[in-house]
Amino acid sequence: MGSWYINRTFFFDVHPPLGKMLIALSGYLTGYDGTFPFEKPGDKYENVNYVGMRVFCTFLGACIVPIAFLIIWELTYSLSSAIFGALFILCDVGILILTQYILLDPILLFFVMSSTLGMVKFHNCYQHAFHKKWWFWLIFTGCMLACSVSVKFVGLFVVILVGLHTMVQLWEILGDIKKPLRYTLEHFAARVLGLIVLPAFLYVTFFYIHLTILNKSGNGDGFYSSAFQSQLEGNSLHNASMPREVAYGAVISLKNHRTGGGYLHSHWHLYPEGVGARQQQITTYTHKDENNRWLIKPYNIELDEDVIEFVRHGDLIRLEHVPTRRNLHSHREQAPITKKHLQVTGYGENGTGDANDVWKIQIVGGDERDVVTTVTTKVKLLHYLQHCMLTTTGKQLPKWAYEQQEVTCNPNLRDKYAIWNIEDNIFPKLPNVSFEVYAPSFFERLLESHAVMLQGNAGLKPKEGEVTSRPWQWPINYRGQFFSGSGYRIYLLGNPLIWWCNLIFLMLFIILFIVSSVREQRGYKPTSQYHTRMLTACVWLFIGWALHYVPFWAMGRVLYFHHYFPALLYSSMLTGVNLSYLLDIIPAMLPKHFGDSLYHWMTGFILTTTVYSFYMFAPLAYGMSGPYANDPNSTMYGLKWMESWEF
């Protein structure tokens, strides 16, 4: 994708553009020319200047550790808490693996952590409200929030975290009866400006840059509307001219009007045995090719080449697939996947067929005798005999249909996805008009981009052989993922000692919080300001962990192990604060001499064990060779602590 930015080639992706633009910028500034194809992991770089992109991503990943230290310090003012939390992040081989490659993840993690740092630094400036330092950290936080969301939509979780923290701040300010109400309104207005208006402006600006740079046609064009495509150089619709009205005898392409909808498509292959009638496959396909071409004909008479007759609302038509000369057809057979719908096929030889090839064309909102026009007219195709609507379900067909999308005939005539528009209209006998008349504005393109991204995100399904996971597996480090499966292996897996300790301390925090809340309800005062500060820090880190983890349980899209890593950062920082707090209060309950010795021994044991655990599992990040860990002769045999680990 960085290469495509350098080449200004348009593409489709489910994530916002900032991370990819930064990777492209780092490559461009360090001499990368955008020619390496990046087809699959393990491809050899041959004289490719990729180092600048690697260094950029790794630098941002390295910055996570000092940022974590500063976050904990600002929350607790405890040096031991900051050291423990930063060390647990530093010694996690999973974070190392994820941040040493050209990926969006190190960029996302950097901005998420920077947003959190800005939040706590801004909070600690409360005594200097509206001073330069206060404004700096407010604006810094807003910028980092915009960048987080602009890399991946999961950046919204840190936006919610900062939003909750801001609401608590404003509530406390409102409760200060020494200050006038106007003072609260000033704080509210400043936060609206810094945390809503500024991030929104930056977010839109990033998309403006994205859409300005990517001005050449690419393989993602088909996900977007015909009007959107007309703005891309090299696209068949850019500066195109074609007849405005659709006439019988025209060769057309039909694009589904749903967001990200494909073109009505067919090819020579038949449906396999057991999948409805063994007739020609009909699908939708997001890429443009000759198999998207259809000849529009009257339903009952031969075409008269000397007469120009327009296609109108309510006409009965046949659609003949140009390459195979078979008609668009439906009948009383179940669709391949959506069994409540009817199968759609290509039928007949050389354009001949039967009555099941007849469709009634309806203009959405049209009146009798309205003419069908290119691009702007939304049409429905009603099957004349079966009384169902031609539609696409958006479901991916198996490999026998090349994983293209299912086309069916839906008996529910209100199907919102049964709307199509005519994109290509080839008919030399009519005058052409320029496609510039269909050009969308920037904000129309912005809204369409988001609709396509959100739909693409929701519809992501695992590819065959792909390693996926579920949220319950992540905190227990159940299964990793190969980043390189060749002779020299890299395996994404968290440091089990840190991950399992994180789980223990998450549960321990919940117990401590409940006990503290019960004590407070029963009238006990906190033992010290230190106790209150540590507990407050843990509460916000726990909320950060929950916001970045719990929502994944409700997601239906395909999920991967790396989705847990933003939550992991908060969990590791929470462990550092909790651990430091326990090391402070437990020795204090013992005689001073014995307590001091225990504190130093325990601190030394934790530090050395953490570093040694990184040393043991470091080959997962830096590379393993030889037999796999389940082989007794493997150097990693003793580290296969769970059967589900595959390194």
| Residue 573 domain flag | no
Boundary (domain end) residue, out of 213, 246, 265:
213
DSSP bridge pairs for 284: 264, 405
| Residue 396 domain flag | yes
Side chain identity at 381, as an amino acid letter?
A: L
Instruction: Give per-residue pLDDT as tens, 458-503.
Output: 767 766 666 778 899 999 999 888 887 667 888 899 999 999 999 9
**Which of the four pLDDT bands, split at 50, 70 and 90, describes residue 383?**
very high
Looking at the structure, do residues 173 and 246 belong to the same domain, yes or no?
A: no
Strands 359-363 and 316-321: antiparallel
CA quadruple 556, 561, 567, 570: dihedral, nearest 10: 170
Boundary (domain end) residue, out of 171, 191, 213:
213
Which H or E run includes 545?
helix 529-549
Looking at the structure, do residues 304 and 338 belong to the same domain, yes or no?
A: yes
User: Residue 509 pLDDT > 80, yes or no?
Assistant: yes
**Residue 397 corresponds to which tokens in the numbers above?**
């067909």
Boundary (domain end) residue, out of 182, 213, 244:
213
Looking at the structure, do residues 305 and 427 belong to the same domain, yes or no?
A: yes
Predicted structure pTM score: 0.82
The b-or-e profile of 16-33 (16+ CB within 10 A means b, else e) is bbbbbbbbbbbbbeeebe
**C-alpha to C-alpha distance for 264 and 319, rounded to whole angstroms:** 11
| Better-scored residue on pLDDT, 457 or 491 | 491
Q: How many residues does this entry show for the chain? A: 647
SS3 613: helix
Strands 378-383 and 420-426: antiparallel
Looking at the structure, do residues 354 and 420 belong to the same domain, yes or no?
A: yes
| Better-scored residue on pLDDT, 101 or 484 | 101
What is the pLDDT, as a whole number, of residue 485? Answer: 62
Q: Residue 200's domain spans which residues?
A: 1-49+104-213
**Residue 443 corresponds to which tokens in the numbers above?**
């904000």
The residue among 479, 544, 542, 534 whose CA lies nearest residue 510 is 542
Which H or E run includes 369?
none
Instruction: Give per-residue pLDDT as tens, 557-597.
Output: 888 888 999 999 999 999 999 999 888 887 777 777 787 88
3-state secondary structure string across 147-181: HHHHHCHHHHHHHHHHHHHHHHHHHHHHCCCCCCH
| Residue 247 domain flag | yes
User: Residue 225 pLDDT > 90, yes or no?
Assistant: no
User: Residue 402 pLDDT > 90, yes or no?
Assistant: no
SS3 294: strand
Specify the number of domains making up the chain: 2
Looking at the structure, do residues 386 and 300 belong to the same domain, yes or no?
A: yes
Mean pLDDT of the chain: 89
Looking at the structure, do residues 168 and 237 belong to the same domain, yes or no?
A: no
**Which of the four pLDDT bands, split at 50, 70 and 90, describes residue 193?**
very high
Looking at the structure, do residues 272 and 183 belong to the same domain, yes or no?
A: no
Looking at the structure, do residues 422 and 315 belong to the same domain, yes or no?
A: yes
| Residue 303 domain flag | yes
| Residue 239 domain flag | yes
3-state helix, strand, coil in the chain (%, to 5): 50, 15, 35
Neighbours of 365 (CB within 10 A): 9
**C-alpha to C-alpha distance for 611 and 257, rounded to whole angstroms:** 56
Looking at the structure, do residues 16 and 162 belong to the same domain, yes or no?
A: yes
| Residue 632 domain flag | no
> Per mean pLDDT, which range of 238-242, 293-297, 573-577 is the poorest?
238-242
**Residue 354 corresponds to which tokens in the numbers above?**
């039967």
| Residue 144 domain flag | yes
| Residue 146 domain flag | yes
SS3 56: helix
The residue among 280, 120, 140 whose CA lies nearest residue 198 is 140
Looking at the structure, do residues 417 and 386 belong to the same domain, yes or no?
A: yes
Looking at the structure, do residues 409 and 370 belong to the same domain, yes or no?
A: yes
Q: Which residues contact 542 (CB under 8 A, 6 or more apart)?
A: 506, 509, 510, 513, 570, 574
Burial class (CB in 10 A: 0-12, 13-18, 19+), 164: middle
CATH number of residue 347's parent domain: 2.80.10.50
Percent of the chain with pLDDT over 70: 98
Looking at the structure, do residues 349 and 378 belong to the same domain, yes or no?
A: yes
